[in-house]
């Protein structure tokens, strides 16, 4: 019993702000705006954390009890394909999602609470780039996750 589970209820920090609304994006892509989608998109717009599919489903059911989990999964995949959300597979838990229009950042996951803290280091990005260069590779994307606990001083 050494597997740590990462709880996935975070109390987020920044709210997602100035972006083209999800509905707008769907409309542009010629995708129908249905009732279940409206509910899910609103939840995503309001979310300040990194919810997983089940959590989105729980929030959605409160608004419309007839929504199916499968629809949540289908909608998230559709949004991911559109490039509107990012999917993160952190250790020891289901995939978690976040709006894609924030600037690129990496994540620090609080092992005790599941909270996700975003950070960015231009220097690290450069070093990654340099390493890939030296190895003769073009980076398509990368994943940098720190797993830790609050320092008790």
Partner DNA sequence: ATATCTGCAAACCGTTTGCGGTGTA
Partner DNA sequence: TACACCGCAAACGGTTTGCAGATAT
Q: Which of 36, 101, 108 is nearest to 75 (CA)?
A: 36
Residue pair 16/47 in contact by the 8 Å Cβ criterion = yes
Which of 71, 11, 18 minimizes the C-alpha distance to 40?
71
H helix runs in 47-83, sequence order: 53-63, 69-82
Token readout for 49 is 């954390």
Residue from 74, 100, 106, 125 that binds DNA (CB under 7 A)?
74
Report d(CA 102, CA 79) in Å as an integer: 15
Per-residue x/- marks for a second copy, 73-112, CB under 8 A? -------xx-------x-x----------------x-xx-
- Residue 28 vs 133, nearer CB to DNA: 28
Q: Which is nearer to a second copy, 49 or 80 (CB)?
A: 80
Q: Minimum CB separation from DNA for residue 105, in Å? A: 21
Pick the stretch among 60-68, 98-106, 109-117, 124-132 that binds DNA (CB under 7 A). Answer: 60-68
**Residues in contact with DNA by the rule CB under 7 A:** 3, 31-37, 52-54, 64, 66-71, 73-77, 89, 93-95
């Amino acid at each position: 019993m050494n597997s740590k589970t990462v709880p996935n209820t975070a109390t987020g920090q920044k709210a997602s702000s100035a972006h083209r609304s999800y509905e707008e994006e769907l409309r542009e892509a010629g995708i129908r705006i249905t009732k279940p989608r409206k509910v899910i998109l609103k939840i995503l717009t309001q979310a300040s954390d990194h919810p997983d599919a089940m959590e989105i489903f729980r929030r959605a059911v409160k608004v419309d009890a007839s929504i199916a989990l499968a629809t949540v999964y289908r909608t998230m995949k559709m949004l991911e394909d559109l490039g509107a959300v990012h999917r993160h597979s952190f250790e020891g838990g289901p995939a978690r999602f976040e709006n894609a229009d924030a600037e690129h950042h990496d994540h620090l996951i609080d092992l005790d609470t599941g909270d996700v803290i975003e950070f960015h280091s231009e220097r690290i990005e450069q070093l990654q780039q340099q390493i890939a260069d030296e190895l003769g590779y073009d980076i398509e994307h990368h994943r940098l996750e720190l797993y830790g606990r609050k320092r008790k001083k």
